[in-house]
Amino acid sequence: MKKYSFIVSFCLLFIILGMNSSQAGVYKWVKVGNFQTKIVDSGDQGESSGEGTFHYYYYDKFEQAGTDHSGWMLGTRDWTDENGAVHTVKISGAGHGTADETRNTIPIPDENGNTINRYVRYKLPEVEVDGLVISEPFPQTADAVDPTKIPGTADIMIESTVNTSMGLTIHQKVLAWSQKNHDDYIIWDWTFTNTGNVDLDPESELPNQTLHDVYFTRANNFYAGSNSGVWHSAYGESEGDSLRISYAYPAAYPDAERDDFGGPDFDSGFLGMPWYIGDAMLHIDKSTSDESDDLAQPHWTAANTAELLYIKNEANINTLQQHTQLYDVMQNGFSEMPFMTGTYPGTHHNSRMDDMGIEDDVSYPEDFGWWNWRACSYTGTGPFTVAPGESFRIVWATVYGSISPEKGWEVGRAWLDEEATWDGENNLPEVHEYFGLYDTDSDYAKDCWVATGKDSLFANAWAAQWAVENDYNVPIPPPAPSITVQSLPDGVKLSWYYDSTVDDSDVAGYRVYRAVGSTDTTFFPIYECGDGTANPLANTYTDDSAQRGEPYFYYVAAFDQAADNAPGVNGVSESLESGKYLNRTTAAAYLTRPAGTSLSQIRVVPNPFSVSARHKQFTGDDKNKIMFYDVPGVCTIRIYTESGDLVKTIEHTDQSGDEAFGNVPLDFTTTETGQIVVSGLYIANISTPSGESINVKFIVIQ
């Protein structure tokens, strides 16, 4: 029986080499769950590392960023450099604007010369669609299958070591899971050790210096969706609070034609950006000699403009006056802003931004006098006294919470028709409710649905906290299989299998999931086999319900028995299945038909093609596609305007009876030069190698 299994499939997280303004930063992507991001070897998450790389599943293609950029700073006092000069304040770190990996936050190569390593529990499943391998090659540089390196049961750990100009060396571990109760957060587990090493070489320049009153500060430019930015808030500043989190949520836009809380699309109704996002502090050592969690930390939280250069820029850019200003803020918070009362003794929590909105009669974030482009959430911990060789540890998670995309469509469409309803208690943010930032009952209902994202955010943060408290031992599902997808005339065939090294003894069965039109939509289960299902255990399935011309995407999840798993964050043992991002296809499969036997059979679908006739188009990414049905297995299709100008030539060679006007979504209904065709009558000349040909007319209405 499995208690906490130590084998789980993972999704390949590929390495990308990038440049910032100071050096060549090396980073790897986390892509196992609903929240995906890149991890830089120096810990840089700022603008210079490539902003906007915190992505959430709400857009299944992970195209929308939830955090524009983040940063961190370390400060200490009365610091002596290697030349004997005394500095009243010393600042190191990677600001949310710039970083310097050559003098400030310096990645240290390991014995193999790698500055960042990725450890996974198992080799990535291979994914193939119609002969095209769409899974990344594995391993790449600094990849290893090594569960012994990974704490607990995480799918993946990314690890690096960073020397700072202060002499504190950071051991960075980043952990992520694909398990359904733990896939909305990523954990950063950092240990700070006073090595006295301020540069790249292995020698300690400051081996005997004790660091006094060390503070660690994080800045997060969260982006939760609207033209007017976001409201920032927090929880956990007072004794008895069960969580410590700084977070952001959507703000309404003052000039919107309708209530736009949650980022609705005014044409389709889809709620485009309803998520809440935050940083939850999960563990902070009380001191270098006491590793128990200090619940009174962080000692400082606030929201302020993102354009505070003494925090935003890496330390080498700033002046001593700016360093002193930052260190004072690290100790005491923003003196120019009001402070909360009733917080932990000795802490300095500035008033929450959304509370200040009510107090200052500010209904939109951009109306604050200090507003400049956007705000950041700021979090400070400390002070620590760190003698040579001593360490302290800080663990936090970046967490998302949101209604589902399905609910985003359902509520958004109802709202667009002024028919949205809400039956629960009022759960709106106080600032939103106080100013009445809605006009109709339907607005109110839509806004209440969006506000449930806070409940999801807190639930996911508590799950992350539970994981830390349980030494990262999260119950995990069986490994995801490799899959092969084949487009056939009578259906789309899926086959799945395991590498010979995989331990699949926990597999009780499989479920096949399918999305139509795009990966940026819902995957529904269409088949299951194994224990508790109507079908015996199998490793193939043919989707014979697929419709001609539509694009299909799949993944295959392995599931286990609830009795095999220890109780999880909800206190119960439950059946778990492998995550969809481990083997999801990103290239479409299509039902094909045999080649036509007569040129007179050829049809153009849809005809006419009208960009406004959505119900007559193909779905998702293929909405602009025109299909030629029952063509010969090999033929040439030349498309002309009514006046005889050649628009495009398509060589059809796959022996099927189906061919699209273009062969990828960006190429549909375009000319040879990539221009979208204009409205008009078009003539397709279809010719065979034997010399037969026919002209077929169709109409395009743009």
Tokens of 198: 């301020």
Q: Find out whether 303 and 378 touch, Cβ atoms under 8 Å.
A: yes
197: tokens are 């090493």
Q: E strand or H helix at 412, and its extent?
A: helix 405-416
- pLDDT over 60 (residue 240): yes
Which DSSP category does 695 fall into?
A: E
Q: What's the pTM value of the predicted model, to 2 decimals?
A: 0.88
Q: Compute how many other C-beta atoms are within 10 angstroms of the C-beta atom of residue 427.
A: 16
At 668 the pLDDT is 61
Please check the confidence at residue 4 and state whether its pLDDT lies above 70.
no
602 and 631 in contact (C-beta within 8 Å)?
yes
Residues 538-594 have pLDDT tens digits of 999 999 999 988 899 999 999 999 999 999 999 999 999 999 999 999 999 998 888
Calpha distance 584→521 (Å, rounded) = 13
User: What pLDDT, on the 0 to 100 scale, is given for residue 612?
Assistant: 76
Q: Which two tokens stand for residue 262?
A: 């949650």
Q: How confident is the model at residue 655 (pLDDT cuts 50, 70, 90)?
A: confident
Torsion of CA 279, 280, 286, 288, to 10 degrees: -50
Residue 181 confidence class, pLDDT cut points 50, 70, 90: very high
Categorize the per-residue pLDDT at 17 as very low, low, confident or very high, splitting at 50, 70 and 90: very low
Which whole number is the average pLDDT over 203-226? 90
> Three-state DSSP class for 567?
coil
Using one digit for the tens of pLDDT, what is the confidence trace for 664-686? 565 666 667 767 888 999 999 99
509 pLDDT higher than 60: yes
User: If pLDDT is split at 50, 70 and 90, which confidence band does 23 have?
Assistant: very low
Please check whether residue 411 is in contact with residue 423, taking contact to mean a CB–CB distance below 8 angstroms. Answer: no
Mind giving me the DSSP string for 284-343? EEEETTEEEE-TT--SEEEEEES--HHHHS-GGGS-HHHHHHHHHHHHH--TTS-B-SS-
- DSSP letters of 181-233? TS-SEEEEEEEEEE----SSSSS-S-TTPPEEEEEEEEEEEE--S-TT-EEEE
Task: Tell me the pLDDT tens digit for each residue of 151-173.
Answer: 999 999 999 999 999 999 999 99
The span from the CA of 148 to the CA of 672, in Å, is 53
pLDDT of residue 60: 62
Task: Kindly report, residue by residue over 262-306, the tens digit of the pLDDT.
Answer: 999 998 999 988 999 999 999 999 999 999 999 999 999 999 999
* Cα–Cα distance measured from residue 657 to residue 592, given in angstroms and rounded to the nearest whole number: 7
HSE-up of residue 104 (Cα within 13 Å, Cβ side): 24
- Give yes or no for residue 245 having a pLDDT over 50: yes
Contact 569, 182 (CB under 8 A): yes
- Token digits for 600? 């007179």
Residue 218: closest CA among 19, 75, 353, 38: 75
Burial (Cβ within 10 Å: 0-12, 13-18, ≥19) of residue 40? buried
Q: What percent of the chain has pLDDT over 70?
A: 93
| The pLDDT of residue 2 is above 60 | no
3-state helix, strand, coil in the chain (%, to 5): 15, 35, 50
317: exposed, middle or buried (C-beta count within 10 Å: 0-12, 13-18, 19+)?
middle
Pair 249, 230: CB distance under 8 Å: yes
> What is the rounded CA–CA span in Å between residue 336 and residue 309?
16
- Give percent of the chain with pLDDT exceeding 90: 77
Does residue 358 carry a pLDDT above 60?
Answer: yes
